[in-house]
Structure 1
Amino acid sequence: MKVGNYFTHVRRLLMVVGIWKVESSDILFFGKRIYQVYSLFFQLFCYSAALSLLIEIPSLVKTDVAAVAAMDNANRFTVYIVIIIKMIAWQTRRMVDLLRVLLDQNQEMQEASRVDLHIRRLYRKHARYNHKLMFVLVSSGTAIAISIAAVGFMEIYKFMQSPESVNATEKPLPNRYWYPFDRNKNYVVALVDQSIRPTLSCLCAGVTSASLNSLAIFVRAQLKLLQYRFHHFHQREEEAFAALKRLCVKHQRGI
């Protein structure tokens, strides 16, 4: 029976949010260039949300009511900064090198699982648990973003149905972003932007958090594999001392 790849969903999700920087041999040269452009555009689109929130804060500090909106923008800006830090951390040289090492260890573990039933069960157990956890974290983050956007649009719908909307000088929006154009004249564009940008940002938050958890789970699987090999180590193996030394080195690398 075919053994699934532990990092399949990790790779796909990180590529969706444009922060998978480990070179892959199965992507053609032209495809890599397209992905680099997509990655840059996607990240700039998410980063611009934090910048728009920050630029809008001074214009909100006018009255007591607007001061509350300014504080709300400041809180949202802090959340976006945390998301940006996680996205940048995933693209650092240290993280890329770590991923390369883990991918090599994953390949070794896959090869061992093809000849050893216990290792195969161990590998599949952790892979399935990781896939389920990633699904829960990513889907919950996206669902929260969609729920927040839905509540905002419901408030807009109620306002548009009220008599006050006829003489309103400014149309309401779910979030107070700064735009380089008139939000009232380009109201539909602003609404579409505010339904997409927060959702993508929450998706990034879910993917980065879930992927970090997947790395920790994989390290646990590696330690379980070492434990199994130490328990079943015997002196009848050829070059027993060298084999034991390799296991100790693997344990140190895992730590």
Structure 2
Amino acid sequence: MTITQQDELDGLKEIGRIVANTLQAMARAMEPGMTTRELDEIGRACLDRAGAVSAPQAVYDFPGTTCISVNEEIAHGIPGPRRIAAGDLVNIDVSASKNGLFADTGASFRVGPVSPRIDRLCRDGRRAMEVGIAKVASNRPLAGIGNAIGRFAEARGYTLVRNLASHGVGRSLHEYPEEIATWPTRSDRRRIDRGLVLTVEPFLSTGAQQAIEGGDGWTLYGDPVAPVVQYEHTVVATDRGAIVVTLPG
């Protein structure tokens, strides 16, 4: 989606705020002993109250309102009977629509005390996203996002999962540009249009380089096996930089 009118930006900010508030509510409620299904129900109630519709359910018939991935699961985890335990690394991804507009956000969370290595990975995962967002502006190269994230990751000894990309969003959950690398690439010559709506969502790891599908047809796992974090915002490109629309409020 390319925004051309103020009412489009206002609508995008509304659904962005809804998914951000939902993510925040789920993170606050998460505790050891809770099942991922119970956590998902909190997300469902938040979206329902706000008049929003779960995008994974509506678009892909996903068996949950949100995606919740624990430890070895890195994306598209199905909410279910798995119990969250102290020391777990939990990724929550919330995407939804309202009045024909979509927004997408996500973050990884530590449950209770974790190792300093995982603490650092989480802090750097959020920073990697911010590094990418800083490269979003009108007429800049799309590849600049992944190139900047790649430099950041390499300097700190991390790998990036290279088959889970950022994407265009707005009128649908995934739209042009269909794939935006969050790793270094030389082949992409596309530029960022003014008003372009996109996600920035690097998957930073201590060793994984690919995502592979598990037996349920949805859940993705890191390969090689290693901790992975993902942080995601939906942003709008302007001449002055990126407007982040997935902020709580």
Q: Aligning the two structures, in what range does the TM-score lie when normalised by the shorter sequence?
A: under 0.3
Higher normalized helix content (fraction of residues): 1
Q: Report the TM-score when normalising by structure 1.
A: 0.26
Larger radius of gyration: 1
Q: Report the TM-score when normalising by structure 2.
A: 0.26
Higher normalized strand content (fraction of residues): 2
